[in-house]
Amino acid sequence: MIFRQLFDSVSSTYSYLLASRQGGEALIIDPVLEKVDRYLQLVAELDLKLVKAVDTHIHADHITGLGALRDRTHCITVMGEMAKVDVVSMRVTEGDKLTIEGLALDVLYTPGHTDDSYSYLMGDRVFTGDTLLIRGTGRTDFQNGSAQAQYQSLFGKLLKLPDETLVYPAHDYKGDTVSSIGEEKRFNPRLQVKSVDEYVDLMSKLKLANPKMMDVAVPANMRQGLAQDEIARKGWAVTAAQAMALVGQPNVALVDLRERAEREKHGTIPASLHAPYPDLQENIRPGGMLHELACATGKRMVFYCAFGERSAMAVQAAQDAGIASACHIHGGLDAWRKGNGPLVH
Ligand SMILES: [Fe+2]
């Protein structure tokens, strides 16, 4: 496995680059905007293909690299279902698996620092975001934080992991890089409490100043989308309502770009083909399945995904590859569902 812990010294943020092998798919957790060039250089040097960029929560102390990484690599941006960001390409929730080639991370919903805080467990290690820090815990006094919820996330979930589980947080301000669940149970001063009330009391007495970047970072991190507006301006988008009229028409091919797990969980649009987004380039180049389908049948190609972000990128790529009929459903299956479009389970 390739595992890199990367540090942004301005915000003391750790980002993690993961891949199962050199030459394979990679995932990055909590990337920082100013470091995007460095990440991409490392990705190239290690001969990796960045396919997913994940934020553990909406950060208040730095601007996320998610949007820039998506724009530059066409990777899938991932956040939890509770994150109030305008657009991410994929949303996950407790019990889901976040996968790339050769790796699978279990998604844990661990609110408290914020109400959109998630942790990601990968075998012997857990990426705890700002829920559990080394000898500390994330503050709970803004962004819908809750010390009660954090206590449950800590004592009810993270601290129940095996003691030897390695803890990789989103920040450290002292220079520590890694800890373990057992070590934190014993030595983390915030975890030496006897009850939820004691923890709430402890957290209420911290009296921390707001992060310097907060007024800039939070609004910026909530607006990472807008690839779709550009596609709509080019006339390559249909609304969910328009798409409903296209279902079953012989001259239309609906193409679902989501992963199998998303299809099983949320259902599919009737009679749509499945062509997962990571295989897109192969499928749309001359000789590829979708390219040949479009050429041989003259069918109009209508992409969709969960929220319209992957499909917006797919439309641009397909148009670039010469599939002039390519368009997508603006807002994706989310808009389709809100418009009461039929679904197959
Ligand atoms: Fe945070």
d(CA 67, CA 296): 36
pLDDT digits (tens, 9 = 90+) for 41-96: 999 999 999 999 999 999 999 999 999 999 899 999 999 999 988 778 999 999 99
Ligand 1 center–CA 187 separation, angstroms: 22
In whole angstroms, what is the distance from residue 106 CA to residue 93 CA? Answer: 9
CA of 21 to the centre of ligand 1 (A): 30
Spacing, Cα 58 to ligand 1 middle (Å): 7
- Give the pLDDT score at 225: 66
Beta carbons within 10 angstroms of residue 260's beta carbon: 10
Show the tokens assigned to 24.
Answer: 């394979």
- Rounded (10°) angle between helices 66-73 and 36-45: 40
Give pLDDT, residue 100: 97
Centre of ligand 1 to C-alpha 170, Å, is: 8
Distance 214 CA to ligand 1 centre (A): 10
Task: Find the 139 Cα to ligand 1 centroid distance in Å.
Answer: 8
129: left (phi over 0), alpha (psi -120 to 50) or beta: left
**pTM score, whole prediction:** 0.91
Point out which residues pair with 106 in neighbouring strands: 97, 121
CA of 152 to the centre of ligand 1 (A): 18
d(CA 88, CA 290): 25
Neighbouring residues of 255: CB distance < 8 A, sequence distance ≥ 6: 272, 273, 274, 275, 290, 301, 302, 303, 304
> What is d(CA 154, CA 129) in angstroms, rounded to the nearest whole number?
12
> pLDDT digit string (tens) for 87-145?
789 999 999 999 999 999 999 999 999 999 999 999 999 999 999 999 999 999 988 99
Report how far ligand 1's centroid is from the alpha carbon of 82 (Å).
Answer: 15
pLDDT of residue 223: 76
How many other CB atoms are found less than 10 A from the CB of residue 324? 11
Let me know: does 326 contact 318? Beta carbons within 8 Å: yes
How large is the average pLDDT for residues 313-322?
94
Confidence at 301, pLDDT banded by 50, 70, 90: very high
Distance from Cα 288 to the centre of ligand 1, integer Å = 43
Distance 216 CA to ligand 1 centre (A): 14
Collect residues with CB below 5 Å from ion ligand 1: 130
